[in-house]
Structure 1
């Protein structure tokens, strides 16, 4: 259930770019005029995230997850049948709002149901859509646009998401809501405005220029609103964003790792296709097939990480992984116009091997010492940080490329600009590795060891137990932990 949800939400965020030229021809516009179709999705996604924790606490994880998925699928259908650009942008906004609830709601449901040992195993499955989706989106989008039409980049969500929606409605264990306190409307208005404005500035900075009035106003206003949000949320009794969780050092440090560490990781995924298509003049299909080995490297490593996590802890795993990312980025910095595809594919595979040490440990360790009652809030904050880090990656890459490109060749960066950008990403990854080695992972190892002897069918210690659940159909007693035969996601 959650794997399907994650897959379609990530694909939808990446696949639309491929269809822009075809959409422009349909509406008799330039591709640049369709910027709103792309930007509105991450902006609305960021605006919806703050409300997700309160919704999960109030109405229960199952109900919120299925409602958000239904909204996502309906808006996908509407995007496909949109008759004007205005309609398409409006429906994309609904998609973004739905996705902003989907990510934290699915994460909160998973982490409140399973203990630490099971979370490590589940994260090994969740990494599959997170890696396959970005790699598959350009190839899938190209095939749909060429063979059918641009409308199918939205229709494709329905055959994947509808079975997941029906499956969840029938088999997903109900999660009772609680009384989370009065809804923090001022906090929502402040946080949504701050995150949406910042996301717009970060997304548009590389396109419009960081010195453009719209970008500068967005970044300054977003920063002011974010500061106001922090001050307000720390004072209110029932905050929408429980920023006090950042007082927990392990939670704070793992989120800092995600914020900064995702820049070189996602930046490498963003710059690879650009280098292949612009510097080496490869086709989109060749580019997609050449960057795809990264996913195999990640999937290989996460299996080993799942075994080592409880034994050596996240500190060494993440530190060594990000150091490996830095080393591979230095290899990419040696690539030029004559570098063979198989050499580039080998580097992409090695990059995936190193990246695989990052995702699972930071995800599991971030909630290892969080009270179970705060898991929905922790998942919301995790999602905010990851979305921000993911948005900063292409902005950092594009900015580095622009700085390394002579003004006369602005439309076509030289090979030296790409090499310079890879060096910048390698430096950020190296700094991230040094910080990762200071991670206080003793509590994370203790939490993993406390549940390592607990089978899937055994009770979980009270402090690691899930929030009360009620089985489908009602009447079943609340139970801690999950059993192998329970369909929970």
Structure 2
């Protein structure tokens, strides 16, 4: 009898609309925190291996280089094997390499294991983004990001403080071991409750595209990261940048002619996707540049301690958390154009305030500026991310997420390079290692000018379709809530179980 049939274990599975955000929050928190916490441990690592801190440059550079090289393959992997398997495999690799980094016996081992960490992180970011955008509509994404932004802001702010405590009271090895207590429960939770997916058939693997794009991005990332340290005229830096540029041009030509490319560059024909990515690329330079410059100014120009620096930059996170609540309410009403444009104007204004800081500026004044800076940048991240995917077919979400990650990583890498270059240019003679206060002021002015330039571009953003998607008025996005409800009934993500959403034929997340 139908009434006596025992309940299926699958009926007890939590909703994917809860499971997916939990897993993605943990992934994002760990990956962001790891990038911020490692730098704190470098002096201790140098003492352990009897090296200078400068000799550990490879530990820092290898991570973004390998991350950039892995990103191009992430969309194909998600489409072929499904978001769950790719995300959990990459997370397991990240945690295993974290354990190996902590147990490294010499510098060579540490660099090698950091490379594995970078490769794993390069797959994690696009896979988690694809899962989120496959599970929630655009309107829901805006509301969801009001909460997901919390760990994204807490991680980089808290990581240096936690890292300092671990190094001082335990060992530098714990800055890597600390990933496990957060990551292992997330992997177990995801393995148990994240809905499976059979994947799709995205086409033959584009090996030429992978080799060309990975080599191009890796070379460019190396040149950008090493340029400020070695000098932009260094032969190794020039060679890497030139080689990367040539390989990138060849990769673009090949990918545009390939039927099933690894990087679907044709998506940039969509103006909203193209413009939001351009704004991200340029706009992240003054935003991330200021976050990089603040601790340098406090510790080098003012002689503050690392603890004073950490507690003085932390107020930025609180400013962001306040603004994103308003963004979640206003996005569908006024659209990303006004929000992002006004955000960048505010960023430029606050950077001008920073440019007035000197050796006598008090900590509480600097903290107030950091709080204002957080309020300003809080209107940048969510609208650009959500709007970039608002008008694309859902089958292209994994590919678009991959391209978004490439752009964001590039912008993030350009930020410290730009700041360091301005500091060097503003430092007279052989005192490049000790820039004067005026050099920091010039750097803030340069970042303010770049933010203002990006604001002009943001005010031209064609955001009508983005507002429509946020209100749920397009057919493509109206179908998503129904699919999500069906997913909860069936116990699988879109395309999981025995049913497949017709809109989800290829993205496999």
Normalising by the smaller structure, the TM-score range is over 0.9
Distance of 1:480 and 1:298 partners within structure 2: 38
Residues 148 and 367 of structure 1, relative CA distance in 2, 3 Å threshold: same
Aligned counterpart for 2:441 among listed residues 419, 435, 438: 419
1:471 aligns with 2:471: no
Contact 2:469 2:477 (C-alpha < 8 Å) held by counterparts: no
Aligned to 1:137: 159
What does the per-residue CA deviation read over 1:5-45, in whole Å, with 9 as the maximum and x for residues that have no partner? 00111111121111111111111111111111110000000
Shift of 1:171: 1.2
Distance of 1:307 and 1:134 partners within structure 2: 26
SS at structure 2 position matched to 1:335: coil
What does the per-residue CA deviation read over 1:297-319, in whole Å, with 9 as the maximum and x for residues that have no partner? 00100000000000000000000
- 1:40-79 alignment to 2 at 5 Å? 40-79=62-101
1:193 aligns with 2:210: no
SS at structure 2 position matched to 1:462: helix
* Larger displacement relative to structure 2 (23-32 or 303-312): 23-32
Contact 1:466 1:480 (C-alpha < 8 Å) held by counterparts: no
Distance of 2:26 and 2:229 partners within structure 1: 32
Contact 1:372 1:464 (C-alpha < 8 Å) held by counterparts: no
Distance of 1:257 and 1:249 partners within structure 2: 12
What does the per-residue CA deviation read over 1:289-343, in whole Å, with 9 as the maximum and x for residues that have no partner? 0000000000100000000000000000000000000000000000001111111
SS at structure 1 position matched to 2:369: helix
Aligned to 2:409: 387
Shift of 1:130: 2.2
Aligned counterpart for 2:479 among listed residues 462, 465, 488: 462
Distance of 2:85 and 2:479 partners within structure 1: 25
Shift of 1:147: 0.5
Shift of 1:117: 1.1
- 1:443-454 alignment to 2 at 5 Å? 443-450=465-472
Shift of 1:188: 0.3
SS at structure 2 position matched to 1:407: coil
What does the per-residue CA deviation read over 1:86-125, in whole Å, with 9 as the maximum and x for residues that have no partner? 1111110000000000000000010011111111112222
Residues 254 and 57 of structure 1, relative CA distance in 2, 3 Å threshold: same
Distance of 1:220 and 1:305 partners within structure 2: 41
Shift of 1:174: 2.0
Residues 479 and 189 of structure 1, relative CA distance in 2, 3 Å threshold: closer
Aligned counterpart for 1:87 among listed residues 85, 109, 124: 109
Distance of 1:349 and 1:187 partners within structure 2: 43
Residues 281 and 248 of structure 1, relative CA distance in 2, 3 Å threshold: same
Distance of 2:417 and 2:235 partners within structure 1: 17
Distance of 1:248 and 1:465 partners within structure 2: 26
Residues 117 and 215 of structure 1, relative CA distance in 2, 3 Å threshold: same
1:127 aligns with 2:149: yes
Distance of 1:464 and 1:211 partners within structure 2: 54
Aligned to 2:14: none
Aligned to 1:340: 362
Distance of 1:176 and 1:406 partners within structure 2: 61
Shift of 1:462: 3.2
Residues 58 and 95 of structure 1, relative CA distance in 2, 3 Å threshold: same
Residues 51 and 165 of structure 1, relative CA distance in 2, 3 Å threshold: same
What is the aligned residue count?
477
Aligned counterpart for 2:127 among listed residues 81, 105, 115: 105
Aligned to 1:288: 310
Aligned to 1:397: 419
Distance of 1:443 and 1:135 partners within structure 2: 35
Residues 340 and 263 of structure 1, relative CA distance in 2, 3 Å threshold: same
SS at structure 1 position matched to 2:471: helix
